[in-house]
Amino acid sequence: MHLAYPAVLAALLFCTGLYGVLARRNAILVLMSVELMLNAVNLNLVAFDVWLRDTLHAGQALTLFVIAVAAAEIGIGLAIVLMVYRDRGTSDVDRLRDSVESAATDDAAAESVAAEAQAEAEAEAAARAKAPAKKAEATA
């Protein structure tokens, strides 16, 4: 078997996965596209392992490692997506990014208002502390 056949198939799988990551808005479809990309890499690893006739079968061993990592990644990723869906009601990646950015600007604005209020309170407390000292000096 020629190396070109699995390499071309892997390239097509990888390009399909890359398109899915860049074009999709649903987080679950993005995760599926990442899995397609990982499977393209696995196909290349096995094809080159067979082509090189490696006695240790390092490509196949690395493929098993990639499969294990991908299984853990999809489990954790799916759990995160489900929790975000429960909290926000959507798994649209664009809406999630916009809500995070708006929340960050809202948090920054709230922090600046709180800092200004704290500075005013400290200034008033300092003025109150100086006022009795001035009265004591005036009466003495």
Give me the helix-helix angle, 93-139 and 27-52, nearest 10°.
120
Each residue's pLDDT tens digit, 38-79: 999 999 999 999 999 988 999 999 999 999 999 999 999 999
For the chain, give the number of residues. Answer: 140
Output the six-digit token pair for 40.
């393209």
Looking up tokens 């489990």 gives 75
pTM (two decimals): 0.67
Residues with Cβ < 8 Å from 88, sequence gap 6 or more? 95, 96, 99
pLDDT at 69: 94
**Direct distance between the N- and C-terminal alpha carbons of the chain, in angstroms, rounded to an integer:** 106
Distance of CA 120 to the CA centre of its chain: 39
Instruction: Tell whether the model's pLDDT for residue 18 goes beyond 90.
Output: yes
- Amino acid identity at 117: A
- Amino acid identity at 27: A
Model confidence at 118, in pLDDT bands (50, 70, 90)? Answer: confident
pLDDT at 121: 80
Mean per-residue pLDDT of the chain: 86
Model confidence at 103, in pLDDT bands (50, 70, 90)? Answer: low
Rounded to whole angstroms, how far apart are CA atoms 73 and 69?
6
Helix (H/G/I), strand (E/B), else coil: 2: coil
Higher per-residue confidence, 98 vs 12: 12
Rounded to whole angstroms, how far apart are CA atoms 133 and 11?
81
